[in-house]
A and B are shown apart, each in its own frame.
Chain A
Amino acid sequence: MAAVTDIKPPLSERPSPLGWARKYLFNSLGNSLLTIFSIWLIYTVGIGLLRWVFTQAEWQVIATNLRLILLGQYPIAQVWRIWLSLLLLAFLIGNSLAIWGKAGKTAKRFGAGLVAFPLLLALTAIGAESRGWLVGLSAMLILGWYLGRPATRTLRRVVAVGWFIWPPIFLILLRGTTPAEGVLPIVGTNLWGGLLLTFLLTVVGIVFSFPLGVFLALGRRSELRIVRWFSIGYIELIRGVPLISILFMAQLMLPLFLPAGITIDRVIRAMVGITLFSAAYLAENVRGGLQAIPKGQFEAAHAMGLNGLQTMSLIVLPQALRLVIPILVGQFIALFKDTALVAIVGLLDIVGIAKTVLAQPDFLGLQREVYAFVSLLYWVFSYAMSYVAQRLEISLGVGQR
């Protein structure tokens, strides 16, 4: 439904471009100066940027090290495992778009973009093999879409469960099961790196901090005083210190906390640190959702004879979590950007890999190119995810109930 203000005025009253410019850009001296300043700013920045990107920058360093930046030192022979998990992911996305996008216009447009993206990449990809996998990604998206079309209740459940089991499957595929020879030889975490590690840290951080955060949020609103104090203490402690200090703590102090003889590797330590950090922020977001549930819901649940646990798990939490889904996507994005900090404690995520690339004698002094590319990667993924979050907010109807 279009609001009254959305309706355009009749043709005769629409301003001409010149009239529009006079009305909004040059209606007073101050505004004219602002307009000229803006045009000057756009022109200088734009021209400078274009000139640098197309004539001065040496992008060879990216092309040469692309695999390193994306996957770290993951063995080439085992890369199919990553592709396979991506295929599963594409299938799930296709399914979900068909089911929850209600086959609407936005879902279709978004899905088309998603299908086109790997195909576009396939045009520029270097190896024939990765080209095949990229086409496969598009195919899986389309397949998922068509299989998800019926959108029956059972199908919804299956897909929802699929989302939950995808992360463990991904982890198992990534790490492997059999020692040296065999179908899935183990790939040590020291070989995980690049964008892969960045994503992995983010996914693990969100997945594991979710239950912890929900418990902390419930704890903070609990009637039990000690539980409440503990939750408040934990949340405020974590939120009061910078992430980097928690990562250092995880790297240096976590091994000390464990009994002698047990060691955990550096990637796991970072994951623990990120999870502990993210849980506190997630708890605050979930608490916001819990506070938005009207008291009547609790009272109605009690009146129907549900006990405290049932009220929480069947009535309150489902509503509260539904409310906070868009905020959780926002937190996912924030975490995605924050994982860059693991480079400071020496892990080889995108930023860590960028450092090693710049240490190669062939590519000394190309900091601008490498870090601009890394920034671009962060930017594109964050932007895409926040776009999805906005769409999600609209399609879930949050704030319209």
Chain B
Amino acid sequence: MAQSSSQAASIPIWRDERYLKLIAQIVFAVVVVLTANYLYQNMVNGLRQQGTTLGFTFLGGIAGFDISETLNDFSRTSAYWQAFLAGLYNTLLVSIVGIVLSTILGIILGVARLSINPLVRWLSAAYLEIMRNLSLLVFLIFWYLGVFLKLPRVREAVEWPGQVYLTNRGIVMPWGLPTETMPMYRTILIIGLCLALALGLVLFLRGRQTGKPPLTLLWSTLALILVAVIGWFVVPAAPLSLDLPVIQGLNITGGKTFTPEFMALVSGLVLYTAAFIGEVVRSGIQAVSRGQVEAARAIGLNPFQTLRLVVFPQALQVIIPPLTSQYLNLTKNSSLAIAVGYPDLFYVSNTIMNQSGRAVEMISLVMLTYLTFSLITSVFMNWYNARILLVER
């Protein structure tokens, strides 16, 4: 101890690594702060010459523009922040629908890559090769202008079985309209959900106790479906009435219309992302070594149990991290909505930017919003990884 401290004292301060590191950090921090301050001052000066200052109070002002499709009740006279919210909701809608559909398609594609049928395998591989070498933006534009807007006019609408009409003004399909018994039915559904969750918990705990993992998800889902079906007939009148689309002259009335913009964006994102998810799923399944399957069969598990208890949990460990990053990619890519004219977060913010002239604030706000998505995702990922590590011992 004494020796080392005397040695440390004998090193001149300009050669002592501890001080050098400290000084290097201070110098770096000072340079960064000065540069940032210089840029910021330039910006403030520039904005002052344009006659504006930074601030977010303008968000309270009246928007004065229309948004073609919104989930909240937005109109021309609503405030800017409501327009921003409308965009945010649309982005969330596209992302959630996109994530669900691309996961389904991706799993199909990934499993198809491992099929013993060479034709199916080849088709899936060809799909991946085609998709991953395309530029997503070009693909979306082609999909929108070249496919959805080239659908026939309403008068010559293509009809698919189940009264689904494909027209250049959107895809129209039968939809349920809520009737006056809907609130009651909704309460029943919530009760059913609680019941299913409780059942799942009980099964899970019992599985822990007995060491025999039951089919928790299956039974919970069945319970929910059961409650939903019984509830449908218990309430005095059906909670949803069927609304069929009908062609009347140049218009289609009734049913639910999905705009070409929405359809092109969602289906384009799904087709593109599914190719990558398929690759993730394939590599996840292949990552489980053959020995695991053979060992599971050797201790007497049947093929279904092998899949459920041995292959699937291990594959999931490999799949989840890259899968989350694909989900995040899809969410970020949904900002390409601006190319097909779907009013998502970015598109609406761009409109607000043009309308109010507040570029700096709006770009910061948009970036912050997307950053929040990805931070939430990475917090979840860290939690998940920690949990997986615990399981693995």
Contacts and interface: CB of A to CB of B under 8 A. Distances in A.
A174 B175 CA distance: 58
B25 A225 contact: yes
B8 interface: no
Contacts of A256: 42-43, 46-47, 360
B142 A242 contact: no
B302 interface: no
A375 B139 contact: yes
Contacts of A31: 116-117
A25 B119 contact: yes
Interface string A243-265: 11100110011011111100000
B120 A34 contact: yes
Nearest to A333: B133
Interface in A324-383: 333, 337-338, 340-341, 343-344, 351, 367-368, 371-372, 374-375, 378-379, 382-383
B142 A367 contact: yes
Contact of B366 (A38, A245, A337): A245
Contacts of A227: 24-25, 28
Interface in B13-36: 21, 24-25, 28-29, 32
Interface stretch (B206-214, B233-241, B253-261, B368-376): B368-376
Contacts of A237: 367, 371
Contact of B43 (A225, A253, A375): A253
A25 B118 contact: yes
B33 to A, nearest CB: 10
A59 interface: no
A383 B133 contact: yes
B46 A260 contact: yes
Contact of A372 (B146, B363, B370): B146
A371 to B, nearest CB: 4
A372 B133 CA distance: 13
Nearest to B144: A367
B119 A337 contact: no
Contacts, number: 156
B150 interface: yes
A224 interface: yes
A337 B339 contact: no
A24 B117 contact: yes
B197 interface: no
Interface string A310-324: 000000000000000
Interface residues of A, number: 54
Contacts of B338: 244, 344
Contacts of A337: 133-136
B139 A38 contact: no
Contacts of B267: none
B246 interface: no
Contact of B25 (A34, A42, A226, A236): A226
A280 to B, nearest CB: 12
B49 A260 contact: yes
Nearest to B126: A42
Given A241-B367, A244-B336, A245-B366, A39 B49 contact: no
Q: Which 5 residue pairs across A and B have the least CB separation, nearest first?
A: A240-B374, A382-B133, A371-B142, A367-B145, A368-B146
18 contacts: A25-B117, A34-B119, A39-B119, A226-B25, A240-B370, A241-B367, A242-B332, A244-B336, A256-B46, A344-B137, A368-B150, A371-B141, A374-B138, A375-B135, A378-B133, A378-B134, A382-B132, A382-B134
Interface of B: 21, 24-25, 28-29, 32, 39, 42-43, 45-47, 49, 115-120, 123, 129-130, 132-139, 141-142, 145-146, 149-150, 332-333, 335-336, 338-339, 346, 350, 353, 359-360, 363, 366-367, 370-371, 373-375, 378
